[in-house]
Amino acid sequence: MSELAAEVRKRARHRCEYCLLPQALFRRPFHIEHIIAKQHGGATDLDNLALACWQCNLKKGPNLSGIDPQTGLLVRLFHPRQDQWAEHLELQQSATALERIEIVGLTPVGRATVRLLDMNEELRQAIRFELSR
């Protein structure tokens, strides 16, 4: 898997493909994640692999879907190979705190993914703010 892993890291430009945090800020390597978990029959190939920071990967686990907090409906999660990030997600200055940048879901898929992956955990918002300066 090491050549495949290197290809995934390079393709992702060494950023988490969910929350966009850069690998360069962290010592521990980000995970090569199965978008469709192996337990659901997901393949170990470029079409089903993504680079994910530990937090996104751990929160996502084998989940394929989540609840859109706005509608309460069950929807699929963001798929880094098939979806465009900017179509579903957006960086925004936090409405409630200075020096924080949130990831906001623009669609049911985006909102469910932000919530399940806990993308707006405090520290990650602060890191995003520092990177934006």
Tell me the window of 1-9, 18-26, 69-77, 85-93 that interacts with Zn ion (CB under 5 A): 18-26
Task: Please name which of 104, 109, 19 lies closest in space to residue 64, comparing C-alpha atoms.
Answer: 109
Does position 116 interact with Zn ion (CB under 5 A)? The reply is no
When the beta carbons of 73 and 86 are compared against Zn ion, the nearer one is 86
Does 51 help bind Zn ion (rule: CB under 5 A)? no
Least distance CB 63 / Zn ion (angstroms): 14
Decide if residue 56 touches Zn ion (CB under 5 A). yes
Q: Can you tell me which of 51, 53, 112, 114 binds Zn ion, judged by CB under 5 A? A: 53
Shortest approach of Zn ion to residue 67 CB, angstroms? 20
Min. distance of Cβ 72 from Zn ion in angstroms? Answer: 25
Which residues bind to Zn ion, rule: CB under 5 A?
Answer: 16, 18-19, 53, 56
